Amino acid sequence: MHRWTALVLGLSLALAGTVQAQSPGGGSWIGGAPLRGRIVVGDGSDAWVGVWVDAPNVVPPSRARAPMAVSMVIDTSGSMAGEKIRNAQLAASSLLESLSDGDIVSIYGFSNQVAEVAPPTLVNSATRGALMARVGSLVAGGGTNLFDGMSVGVSRISQAPPTHPVRRIFLISDGHANVGPSDPGTLADLASRATEWGTQITAIGVGYDYDPHTLSAMVVRSAGRLHHLGEPSQMASILETELMRLQRSVALNGRIEIVPAPGVIILSGATMGARLDGGRLLLPLGAVDAGQRRELLFRVRMPAASAGDQLLGTARLVFDAPEGGVARTQEAPLRVEVRSGALAASEQQETPRVAAMVAQHEASEAQRRAADALSRGDQRTATAELAQAQATVARAAASHHFEDAEVQGALRRRARELESEGAATGAAASPAAMRARAYELQAAPMAADGY
């Protein structure tokens, strides 16, 4: 009997009696506005526009969690020897303990070649112990064949049955790919293929020698998440947190689409992962968990407009409901008011939430520049970039009245983080310390953009 046929038969019994729940939250999750909601005829034609998705922070008590298909792809190259491989084993065991009966898991190790630790297996009381025993067989040695390791993980997830709509590949690595195709573009394309089956990649970069650019590219292309771990001991807690978030998914295969109005041109997307396609702007979201917030910041060019209410475009949220895979769409118009006369001071105010998005974006750009400066050994420039970013974010937090306390709270937290990062960057006293700080600064903008 084919492995997947056997699994489907088994899970049909495991899922018998499951209650299909309704998606939480009856209202629209999507909204948006230009930075300046009122302009006068003849004002500059380029403008910031922000769109946000606020998922409801609730999962109905009666809702049964959708079954999951998970693949773990673990770097077992020589650099993982010792504490790292022991913590990877602990993390894999913790994941197996957290999975529910009826979930499917597969586990692979990669060094020069790929070793199948566990083929796709239905998790239950009869298999869980054996799976955990196999995890203990992981041994570190050899090179880093990331491409083949991920290829197997993607292939196995592509075979997951439709009864398991929540899908995730967990990748753990501490080094640079040096066996097989190794360039970021090829590996990012491989990660993107996983999305064809509704799969995202959670990448865990361990230590200060992994390739942040490649892991970041893979995560962005699959709408996944990146975790930078300075200490290997954090692996298990990260996997537990990720699994808990997946269990609270309220949307799958989500994406934001921006359709411009006639005459309006979308110039670029500032949010990482946004791409232009035929004049429209797309941002894949993948799975969205309860209470999660995602934002999209972009610039448009408006045509010369006469006085009146002008449509800039339509923001569209498209996703599948976790229960039953029903496709859903929500829309929000993006409008600007054009006045023929001068605006009063009270009418020139910026849209607070979009102003916060612009400030957060500027902070992310500063962190990337600071990371590049540190990698060149230019500690002074890195510290100055962070100080300027901290001032920008703090000013935005103090200059606007936010009806949404979470937006202002996020700005204040970012300002404190930037202040702390600046102090740590200034105190880095060795090349190794500066390299560690550069890794932290590269990871921070990813988290800010929802990765």
Same domain membership, residue 215 and residue 126: yes
Burial class of residue 313, CB neighbours in 10 A (0-12, 13-18, 19+):
buried
The sheet with strand 104-110 has its strands ordered as 114-122, 104-110, 68-75, 166-173, 199-206, 225-229
pLDDT of residue 60: 64
Q: What is the mean pLDDT of residues 132-148?
A: 93
Same domain membership, residue 113 and residue 205: yes
Report residue 318 as tokens: 């498209």
Residue 161 belongs to some domain of the structure: yes
Pairing of strands 114-122, 104-110: antiparallel
Q: Given a cut of 60, is residue 24 above it in pLDDT?
A: no
Q: Given a cut of 80, is residue 437 above it in pLDDT?
A: yes
pLDDT of residue 14: 36
Residue 223 belongs to some domain of the structure: yes
pLDDT of residue 26: 57
Same domain membership, residue 160 and residue 118: yes
Same domain membership, residue 174 and residue 50: no
Same domain membership, residue 172 and residue 74: yes
Residue 332 belongs to some domain of the structure: yes
Instruction: Identify which of 87, 40, 42 has the alpha carbon closest to the alpha carbon of residue 304.
Output: 42
Same domain membership, residue 337 and residue 268: yes
In the structure, what pLDDT confidence band is assigned to residue 12 with cuts at 50, 70 and 90? very low
Burial class of residue 368, CB neighbours in 10 A (0-12, 13-18, 19+):
middle
Q: What is the mean pLDDT of residues 171-189?
A: 92
Report residue 445 as tokens: 């903008």
Q: CA–CA separation, 158 vs 257, rounded Å?
A: 25
In the structure, what pLDDT confidence band is assigned to residue 126 with cuts at 50, 70 and 90? very high
State the DSSP string of 424-436.
HHHH--SHHHHHH
Domain count, the chain: 3
Task: Give me the percent of the chain exceeding a pLDDT of 90.
Answer: 72
Q: Given a cut of 90, is residue 17 above it in pLDDT?
A: no
Q: Given a cut of 60, is residue 18 above it in pLDDT?
A: no
Residue 198: helix, strand or coil by DSSP? coil
Window from 320-329, 361-370, 395-404 with minimum mean pLDDT: 320-329
Range of the domain at 336: 28-54+250-347
pLDDT of residue 293: 95
In tens, the pLDDT along 407-434 reads 999 999 999 999 999 999 999 999 999 9
294, 320, 347 - which closes a domain: 347
Q: What is the CATH number of the domain that holds 46?
A: 2.60.40.3670
Residue 193 belongs to some domain of the structure: yes
**Averaged confidence pLDDT in the chain:** 89
Same domain membership, residue 236 and residue 315: no
Same domain membership, residue 255 and residue 129: no
Only one residue has tokens 């930075």, namely: 35
Residue 420 belongs to some domain of the structure: yes
218, 247, 276 - which closes a domain: 247
Burial class of residue 26, CB neighbours in 10 A (0-12, 13-18, 19+):
exposed
Same domain membership, residue 283 and residue 225: no
Same domain membership, residue 398 and residue 320: no
Residue 4 belongs to some domain of the structure: no
Displacement of CA 432 from its chain's centroid (Å): 28
Residue 20 belongs to some domain of the structure: no
Helical (H) or strand (E) element with 10: helix 3-14
Same domain membership, residue 173 and residue 115: yes
Q: What is the mean pLDDT of residues 70-98?
A: 93
208, 230, 247 - which closes a domain: 247
Same domain membership, residue 229 and residue 176: yes
Q: What is the mean pLDDT of residues 216-233?
A: 92
Considering the entire predicted model, what is its pTM? 0.88
Q: What is the mean pLDDT of residues 137-160?
A: 94
Instruction: Identify which of 206, 268, 272, 284 has the alpha carbon closest to the alpha carbon of residue 239.
Output: 206
Residue 21 belongs to some domain of the structure: no
